[in-house]
Amino acid sequence: MAALLSVRNLEARYGDTRVLRGISFEVAEGGITTILGANGAGKTTTLRAVCGMVKTAGEITLAGKRIEGRATESVVRLGVAHVPEGRGTFVQLTVEENLRLGAYARHATGHLGSDMDRVCGYFPVLAERRRQVAGTLSGGEQQMLAVARALMLRPRLLLLDEPSLGLAPLVVREIFRIIRTINREERVSVLLVEQNASLALGLADHAYLMETGSVVMSGPSAELRQNDAIRRAYLGY
Amino acid sequence: MDTLIQQIVSGLATGGIYGSVALALVMIYQATEVVNYAQGEMAMFSTYLAWTLLNAGLPYWVAFFATLAIAFVGGLLLERILIRPVENAPVLTIVIVCIGLLVILNSVAGWVYSYIQKPFPSPFPSKPIQFGNIYFGAHDIGALGVTLVVLAGLYVFFRFTTLGLAMRAAAQNPVSSRLCGIRVGWMLAIGWGLAALVGAVAGMMVAPIVFLDPNMMAGILIYAFASATLGGFTSPGGAVLGGLIVGVVENLVGTYVSFIGTELKLTVALAMILIVLVVRPSGLFGRAAVHRV
């Protein structure tokens, strides 16, 4: 399968601290790729770098087009939807307004209604709470809203930053099930960053392991799951 | 009783003007957490432009809408040219830039138009309007009407249009807004443009009452601060309502409390700021700011 996103020798720093030390990875068209690693490994920074939210060196190629150094807004317009750490909900706006904002970059307001129905089809609870202010939703519902908002873009590539963080296991399983459905039905490629390695490896077909700013291991998820070092350090058995 | 109703209506008219300027302040404050001290002078300068257009022979409403357009573009450019470079600077830096802008606009207006007061026409008839046996100033009623139309227009814009929604989003959560593809910088600039436009309306509506001179908005800005503080700096609707309350209270106190009269009216506004800040710092409709640390 051809790579939709291809990253070469990506470097990033916050002040004097090098956070990414020249990492390379790919996300296959239509595939789910995950980046695993402990806190502070540079996973979030990697996603932020793809979206032009941090200054970087190196090459980022999306569907054959170089996108490094572009403003976040223009990366988004190329069909990259980023569900950020902490969900990025507009807490004072209603659920419906949050969803409308998700479609903002598309300028296709004509399909807004049908898109909203399609997205709420995945997350029926959002349809019930359409007029509710987003800040009043539970954590799980806000995470669903964040994914739904990203889908309103009709993205080619979905970046997910720790969707499991702070959520009950049942809710997490539900969200991961929906991500798989979205990936299959809408052919959206997914780059997932997770601390919960066993969940992420269960979902993704390809995985990278990061440690302090470098990729230390990569391969098909099934292979990484069998790896003894990963099992001990990240899967806990 | 008749005097009371007259004073209330006239208070609502000036209150609407305070409320408009307060709204302009709140719009910029919500987006950038900075109070634009030059808001009043921007309104004053726009009013001078209107005066120039009127003197050139344009009909009132043509000059009115032309001024709004100029004010909008002017506000937008000010943000791009003056505020943009200090966008990420500490709040105090931006405040100083705004104060600098205040002084510059004031001096340029004085230099170009002189400090002598000029009469500014009202588009409304000078004959009072009679309801029953109570008379109301036509300009008071008209100004209140114009103000309400502008406010209703803004409400519809922010509530129902996609651009309005994007501007609210950009003010609340710039990072998420960028991730939705919203050009946050431009949203701020448009916000400045709209604030300048609202200010221009207020300037043109108040000038027939206070006469046109470079310092005409100084007192009004203080009333606007009182209005925004009363209504809450985080609530646009509250700022407008605060303006109406301040306008009415100011008028009633001036009429019925003999030692205040017209000379001490401004003190009432300042006293209201103090009382609100002591009793309820977030204002009537504002939310208390909560910062995670």
CA distance B47 to B40: 11
Domain that holds residue A10: 1-79+156-166+187-237
Q: What is the mean pLDDT of each run of 10 residues along chain A (237 residues)?
A: 87 88 93 91 92 92 91 93 91 94 80 86 92 92 93 94 89 91 93 90 93 91 84 73
The complex scores an ipTM of 0.90
Predicted local distance difference test score (pLDDT) of residue B256? 85
A205 lies in a domain?
A: yes
Q: Residue A169 half-sphere exposure, CB side, CA atoms within 13 Å?
A: 3
DSSP state at residue B57: T
The enclosing domain of B81 has a CATH number of: 1.10.3470
B259 lies in a domain?
A: yes
A53 to each of A158, A181, A208, B82, B238, how far by Cα in Å?
16, 28, 21, 24, 35
b/e burial code for range B127-146 (CB count within 10 A of at least 16 → b): eebeeeeeebbbbbbbbbeb
SS3 B188: helix
A98 lies in a domain?
A: no
B104 lies in a domain?
A: yes
Instruction: Compute how many other C-beta atoms are within 10 angstroms of the C-beta atom of residue B98.
Output: 22
Domain that holds residue B201: 2-125+135-279
Interface contact flag, B183 A73, Cβ < 8 Å: yes
B177 lies in a domain?
A: yes
B289 lies in a domain?
A: no
Chain A within 8 Å of B179 (Cβ-Cβ)?
A: yes
CA distance A91 to B193: 26
B181 lies in a domain?
A: yes
Distance from CA of B50 to the nearest CA of A (A): 36
Predicted local distance difference test score (pLDDT) of residue A123? 92
Two structure tokens written together for A111:
């399909």
Two structure tokens written together for B139:
């300009």
The CA-CA-CA angle for residues B213, B215, B221, to 5°, reads: 125
A180 lies in a domain?
A: no
Chain A within 8 Å of B290 (Cβ-Cβ)?
A: no
Q: What is the pTM of this model?
A: 0.88
Of B75, B41, B19, B18, the residue nearest B192 (C-alpha) = B75
Chain A within 8 Å of B188 (Cβ-Cβ)?
A: no
The enclosing domain of A54 has a CATH number of: 3.40.50.300
- Rg value, chain A, Cα: 17
Digit-by-digit pLDDT tens for chain B (293 residues) are 788 888 898 899 899 999 999 999 999 998 888 899 999 999 999 999 999 999 999 999 999 999 999 999 999 999 999 999 998 888 899 999 999 999 999 999 999 999 999 999 999 998 888 888 888 889 989 999 998 999 899 999 999 999 999 999 999 899 999 999 999 999 999 999 999 999 999 999 999 998 999 999 998 999 999 999 998 888 888 999 999 999 999 989 888 887 877 777 788 888 888 888 888 888 888 777 666 55
Chain A within 8 Å of B172 (Cβ-Cβ)?
A: yes
Chain A CB contacts of B177 below 8 Å = 101
A215 lies in a domain?
A: yes
Instruction: Give the total number of structural domains in chain B.
Output: 1
B76 lies in a domain?
A: yes
B288 lies in a domain?
A: no
Distance from CA of A44 to the nearest CA of B (A): 14
Q: Which residue of B has its CA nearest to A155?
A: B180
CA distance B16 to B12: 6
Instruction: Give the total number of structural domains in chain A.
Output: 1
Interface contact flag, A92 B182, Cβ < 8 Å: no
Task: Measure CA of the first residue to CA of the last residue in chain B; give whole Å.
Answer: 54
Q: Determine contact, residues B198/B73, Cβ cutoff 8 Å.
A: no
Two structure tokens written together for A230:
């990963």
A221 lies in a domain?
A: yes
Predicted local distance difference test score (pLDDT) of residue A237? 67
Cross-strand partners of A56: A12
b/e burial code for range B215-232 (CB count within 10 A of at least 16 → b): ebbeebbbbbbbbbbbbb
A112 lies in a domain?
A: no
A117 lies in a domain?
A: no
